[in-house]
Structure formats: structure tokens, C-alpha cells
Amino acid sequence: MTTAAGATRSSLSLRSLLPLAAICVPIGVSNALTWPFLALFLSDEVHASSAALGAFMLVSPLAGLAASSWLGRLSDVRAMRRNILVAGALAGATGSVLFAIVRDYWVLLAVSVTLVAISSCLLAQMFAYTRQSLERTNPAKASFGVSIMRTLLSLAWVGGPPLAALLLDRTGFEGLYFGAAALFLVVALMSARMPELGLRPPAEKDESVGAVRRQIVFAAIGLVLLQGGSALGVNAMPLFVTNVLQGTTGDAGLILGLCAALEIPIILWFGHLATRSDQHLIVLIGGSVALGYHTVMLLSGAVWHVAAGQVLSAVAIAAVMGVGLTYFQSLAPERPGFATTLYSNTLTVGVMLAGPLLGLARELGYRTAYSMSLGLVVLGLLSLFLGRPRRVTSA
């Protein structure tokens, strides 16, 4: 009887993910269409200078950080997470349409710090909604359910970059951004059909809050640096492949898709492992693997070297970005919007950090982007090590 009940409850939890899966995939595909090729868009279509490119990729994430932080806190104190998803998707659709038709640098920057910034809350709010929903139906599997959603995000990245390369070849950046706008409209429609979950009951005060706060601070700094190294590598990769290794845009798209395909089984395995193992240790291992990946990229002399290195990249991303998400949620389980947005913002700040470094790499040579990434990863690992949970020993 207990086993059957548990199986039924687990089944219901999985079915509850289906509407969110219909939101997660188009969000992931829209990001995969546009984000890796943003630097190429600004360089080739807008003809931005190195300084303007770096400034755009610094200021835009900063605006996204501010918007998503405010919306994340708002979603924890007001029962409006579903409405935030709808508003963020509509903002993303409008911003994508404007990116498709406008080529003025300052107008695009204005769009980026307003509409695109608001849409940056989508992933964090979707993952927070997932956590909150699963904790009501199957708390023991909430972390694994989030990992499943993270796997769907990787699945979206399998097809996204190759599709982006195809759209660029056939329709240019206009088709790319109109396609992203259509995906955002799907997100808005599906989000509007979801129920509002309400607020979590207030949690009792925990005497260990100081230790948890210390972990959160060091974890946030560590993830910023690790994801900054990853963001720099991803943004530099299409330019590295096409300008240094003499590959094509299609090669870059296929490599990005390959990495995402490799991530899927690894994220599921790490997600299962995270339910019974130290999540902090798994993130540390992922950061260590990232050192190997950026070393491979730094030494690459051919496109196939870059493709082969995606095995290491997939392991690092699965551990750092997959388990890192549930690790942050476990540090502040009573505030899913805050915890998930804080994790999401580590990527945003990492992108901000990577922007000026990418502009510098444009002047020094795109290969140097990977030496910079190595330095960021080393510092990130140091921060995570310093923020490791302290073991209490009894006399």
C-alpha cells in the first residue's frame, strides 16, 4: 500500500512538470538562438566598436540583474509568480521584435536594459515555480524534479544553436529574432494557463542562519566567477572558431548543440546523485573539470579539438549549473524566488564580468579569452572552498 501510494504521488509530481516543460523548452530555445550570437550580432550587424561591444555586454546584464532581483523578491511576498512569467514573456517577445528590425546601437541598448532585462526573470521564476509546486506534491523529489527541468533546458540547447546557425544562413538576424519572439509568445500563452500557487507559510527561525548566510555569500561569489568563465568561453567560441580556427558559423552552432546533448544524461545523473550526496562537493568537482576544459580550448589548433573538448564542458556545466541551482535552493528553502533568482543572478553577473573581457580578447586575440576563463575558474574554486560547510565536532 505504501509503495503504491508513493508511486502514485511520484507519478503525479512528474505530470505536474508537463505544463512547466512546455514553458522551459521555448525559454531555453529562445536563449540558445540569441545569446551565443549576441556578440556576433553587435559586431557584424550593428558594427559596434570593441569598447561599445564590451559596454553593451556589461550594462545589459546589470539591468537584468536589477530587474530579476526585484521581481524575485516580489514573487516571494506576493502571490504573483504566474503573472510575472506572463509579463516577462511578453517583454521578451517585444524586445526580440525590436532587435529584429532595429540596427541603432543606442536604441538596442535601451531595449536591452528595459524589455530584455524584464524577460531575464523567466528562467529563475520558472525554476522557483517548479520547486514550489513539487514541494506541495512530492517534497522528497523536488530537487530531482528541478534537475529534470534543467535537463530539458539542455535539450533545448541541443537544437537551439544549430537552428540559430540555419536561421542566420537563410534569414539573417531578422529571422533569428523573429523566431525568438514567437517562442516568447508561446511562453506567455502557456504561463497564462497555469494556476497561481500562492505564498509559502512563514518558516521558523533557524539558529544556524549565520553559517548559512556565510555559505550563500561564498557560494554566490564562487558561482559568479565560475559562470563568468563559462560565459566568456561561450561568447568567445563562435568568434574563436570563425576567426582563429577558420571554421564556419555552422561549426560553432553544431559544437554548442553537441555540448548541450552531452549535458543531458550527465545532468540527470548528477541530479540523482545530488539527492543523496554533498551538493557543495559536486559543484567543486564541476569547477575542477572546467579547468581542464578551458586548458583544452586554450591549446586548441583545429575545430575538432574544440568539439572534443565539449565532453569536459558538459560535465562542468552539469555540475556547476545543474546541481548549483538545487544547491542554492537548499540553502534558502523557505524563499524559492530569492534563492533561485540569486543563483540566476550569478550567471548574470558572470556575463557582466565576461563582457569587458570579451572586448579585451577582441583586441588581444580570441584565444586569450580562455586564459582569462582559466583565471576566473581558479578564483571561483577558491571561493567555493572557503565557503564549504563547517563540520561541527563533538568533544
Q: What is the pLDDT of residue 10?
A: 46
Burial 142-171 (b: 16+ CB within 10 A, else e): bbbbbbbbbbbbbbbbbbbbbbbbebbeee
Grid cell digits, residue 240: 574563436
Grid cell digits, residue 85: 512569467
Write out pLDDT tens, residues 208-222.
Answer: 455 567 888 898 999
Q: What is the pLDDT of residue 293?
A: 94
The answer to whether the CB of 275 falls within 8 A of the CB of 322 is no
pLDDT of residue 377 exceeding 70: yes
Q: What is the pLDDT of residue 204?
A: 53
pLDDT of residue 116 exceeding 60: yes
pLDDT of residue 49 exceeding 60: yes
pLDDT of residue 8 exceeding 70: no
The answer to whether the CB of 88 falls within 8 A of the CB of 122 is yes
Return d(Cα 190, Cα 184) in angstroms, integer. Answer: 10
pLDDT of residue 188 exceeding 90: yes
pLDDT of residue 14 exceeding 80: no
Q: Residue 205, class by beta-carbon neighbours within 10 Å (0-12 exposed, 13-18 middle, 19+ buried)? A: exposed
Q: DSSP letter string over 62-81?
A: HHHHHHHHHHHHHHHHSS-H
Q: What is the pLDDT of residue 160?
A: 83
Residue 219 identity: A
Grid cell digits, residue 301: 589548433
Return d(Cα 346, Cα 341) in angstroms, integer. Answer: 9
Strands (E), 255-353: none
pLDDT of residue 46 exceeding 90: yes
Return d(Cα 174, Cα 155) in angstroms, integer. Answer: 24
Overall average pLDDT of the 52-72 stretch: 86
Q: What is the pLDDT of residue 211?
A: 58
Confidence grade of residue 289 (pLDDT, cut at 50, 70, 90):
very high
Q: What is the pLDDT of residue 348?
A: 76
Confidence grade of residue 6 (pLDDT, cut at 50, 70, 90):
very low
Give the chain's mean pLDDT: 84
Overall average pLDDT of the 153-169 stretch: 83
Grid cell digits, residue 304: 575538432
Confidence grade of residue 248 (pLDDT, cut at 50, 70, 90):
confident
Q: What is the pLDDT of residue 124?
A: 87
44 vs 145 pLDDT, higher one? 44
Return the H-helix or E-strand segment holding 313: helix 310-317
pLDDT of residue 225 exceeding 70: yes
pTM over 0.75: no
Q: What is the pLDDT of residue 212?
A: 65
What domains can you pick out in the chain, each with its CATH number? 18-201+208-386 (1.20.1250.20)
Return d(Cα 301, Cα 284) in angstroms, integer. Answer: 29
Return d(Cα 134, Cα 148) in angstroms, integer. Answer: 12
Q: What is the pLDDT of residue 207?
A: 47
What is the distance in angstroms between the CA of the first residue and the CA of the last residue of the chain?
Answer: 44
Percent of the chain with pLDDT over 70: 89
Overall average pLDDT of the 81-86 stretch: 91
Residues listed for the chain: 395
pLDDT of residue 326 exceeding 90: no
Percent of the chain with pLDDT over 90: 34
- Cα R_g (the chain), whole angstroms: 20
Q: What is the pLDDT of residue 64?
A: 87
User: Which range among 13-17, 157-161, 262-266, 306-310 has the greatest average pLDDT?
Assistant: 306-310
**Which residue's entry shows cell 530537487?**
143
pLDDT of residue 13 exceeding 50: no
Q: What is the pLDDT of residue 185?
A: 97
User: What letter does residue 37 receive in the DSSP assignment?
Assistant: G
Return d(Cα 26, Cα 46) in angstroms, integer. Answer: 26
